[in-house]
Structure 1
Amino acid sequence: MTPLISKAATTAEPLHPLLAERWSPRALDPRHDLAVEQLTAVLEAARWAPSASNTQPWRFAVALRGRAEFAAVLDALRPGNQAWAHGASALIVAAAETVGPDGTSRPWAVYDTGQAVAHLSVQAQHEGLAVHQMGGFDRDGVAALLAAPGVVTPLVVLAVGRRDDAVQLAEPFASRETAARDRLPLDQLLLPLGASPTAPAA
């Protein structure tokens, strides 16, 4: 078997390997079944993410390959994602409860859910799994599949599985799989802080 390529990030300072080596592959092994322990571990990592006032607004719906739920979620993906996501061991819908049980708005629910998904992805890396987050899907269609329609808002679908050789992918995905990773330089991400020029004088 051809060794899988490494795409560790090139960073200004050393990062923990779980962070530096995490990326979003599309080539996933269709023969791999997700162990219960692995699934529990990644969901536990999400469960223990921080949230505003500990509201924990994230909700997850898990569809394992081979089951009707998996086919339904896969069918709701855009064609470009369907082309490769069928190889995932699981498709996980990440959703946010943007209104609390008492009717109070949760303005940070989407941000908090993103943190939970980030925790999940790092734990998945530790488990030897890959996660590819997808925003290209029919939101109304996925919302209709959830057991709490109207209560939660689906944000992303996660393809979770074990990496496979990029040779299984069609173009343009095969080329993207082997392309170098890049990020904006750090100095482009930092904003200056200072008094607003229009602020009234004290």
Structure 2
Amino acid sequence: MTEKHIINRELKADSVVSEFFNDKEIVELGKIILFFESQMLEETKEVNTEKRYKSFLRSDSIRLLDKHRVYTFDYKKQEKLYSNLDTIFFDSFWDIGFIQDTYKKDKQYDFFNIKSYDKYGQFLEKLSKQNVFFEDYHFSTVIVNDFLSPNASSNLIVHYKNYNFKDIKVRLIYSLHYIYQNEFYFKKLKK
């Protein structure tokens, strides 16, 4: 069985994921997890998924604390992922967001923004009630609508030891978080 099939089977078997996402959406979410995990594999060379997350996040937490930066990957690969996602799924999951440059008021950066007020937000809300470690993340990303807040990033990256990487829900949240970060940083740096 391929890694893609294993991820899709785990997503579909998870009662919380299945409560919020239909079979077609689960296939698309599986593509996102597979993509992010392949980026981590390139970075860590670690084949075991759980060890891969821990190795990757240990390095990224040091990067975040020392350099105030997070891991970024080739945006062209992310664009390829986007082109392989179903259009209806993509449009239902993302919208165009923008951020105003704090220093240059005339600069605005457009990027794909996760719709935190929709299914994904409801998913995070339920998960935050089941897993105390997701409470702050849910607050930062859904209630405040700021996936890039220091609190959200710190919660996932610096405090990664609080999470079980065998849990497909955890892997989904990390995958979407890193794709969102990469989207934002690439679009901001490109301008």
Between structures 1 and 2, the one with greater helix share? 2
**Higher RCO (Cα < 8 Å, 6 or more apart):** 1
TM-score range, shorter chain: under 0.3
TM normalised by structure 1 equals: 0.25
Structure of greater Rg: 1
